Chains A and B, each alone.
Chain A
Amino acid sequence: MKSIILAMALLFSFGAVAHPVSYKDATGIMSYNSPDMNELLVTYSFNFNYAAAVTYLRDSKSEFAIPRFNYLIKRWNNLDSQGNIYLSGGLGSEKFNDKKYGVRLAEFIADWEDRRYYTYFEHLNLSRDNDTNPMLPNQSYNHTKVRLGYAPFLADYNDLNVWTILQFEKHNDEKQIEATPFLRFFMKNVLWEVGAGFDGSTKFNFMVHL
């Protein structure tokens, strides 16, 4: 059950790694992997404020394929910082036991960062038609994520950037808030994160802009 909830949460995990919309004509590839599942996400930005994307996620029971549209509602470009508000929506399918079911999703993201500090908020709602999977009882899945980051040293563009990030997640009506510390490594067009939960679980995020 826990792994399924985690997998559902990861449907939107790319937002936790980088901006859902990049610069014009940018292609982003991201993968999220844990012992129980694999996710691949490809985004293409038509402009700096909207992008098309496809998420593919596979675990032992279900396969999700969700085309989506990401929109930058507002950006604050300051000399020393940047803030963003994004909305994202998508329609896709969940394949379970050789049958396909509809999936709809909506997401809100707000972030603010400068070169030293990073804050991130995300709320996701996933609505599923499939009520036959006993491991996924919630047809309306909600997921809230908050991330706080700190760069222990300031690195320039050509240097390796290192961030420490603490992530808090809450799934549906679970009372427990899951906390995961991450180490983020960032250089030019490549970013990767390694996280270890307090329960011993490991997480790995990866992203490249082409």
Chain B
Amino acid sequence: MKKLIMTLFLVSSIAYAKKEATKPVAQSMVTSVVASSPVTTVNQIKVGVKGMVCAFCAQGIEKKFLGQKEVAKVEVSLENKFVKLTFKDGQSLPKEKIAEVLKEAGYEAVFE
């Protein structure tokens, strides 16, 4: 029983570490854009999300947006119920596409 629990913790740690390992790539991309072109305005959008109440919800939303080639970084706030997207230089997503991605994840977009 103990071995089984330890194995499950190990699997979860590996899965979590794997997920974390993919993040710095997106983050460093945004940083380099800002650092090399200080006058460049980073293109961002903040979208309210209805129904996002747990970490699994947020994880799904983050994963779906990181799968979009235009998106460099995704920040999710359960507290403030929004997702903030930072796009790659010169790129963006139309609101319709953002709403579609959220719908695929099972949630509803609220645009200000």
- B-binding residues in A (CB < 8 A): 18-19, 21-24, 26, 29, 31, 33-35, 38, 47-49, 72, 75-82, 113-115, 154-157, 161, 186-192, 204, 206, 208-210
Contacts and interface: CB of A to CB of B under 8 A. Distances in A.
Contacts of A191: 55-56
B51 A75 contact: yes
A187 B16 contact: yes
Interface residues of B, number: 38
Among A19, A34, A186, A208, which residue has the most Cβ atoms of chain B within 10 A? A208
B59 to A, nearest CB: 5
A186 B54 contact: yes
Contacts of A115: 53-54, 78
B100 to A, nearest CB: 11
Contacts of B48: 79
Contact of A24 (B4, B78, B105): B105
Given A24-B105, A155-B78, A191-B55, 19 more contacts: A23-B104, A26-B63, A29-B11, A31-B8, A75-B51, A77-B50, A78-B50, A79-B50, A82-B52, A115-B78, A156-B77, A157-B62, A157-B76, A157-B77, A157-B78, A187-B55, A189-B55, A190-B12, A208-B16
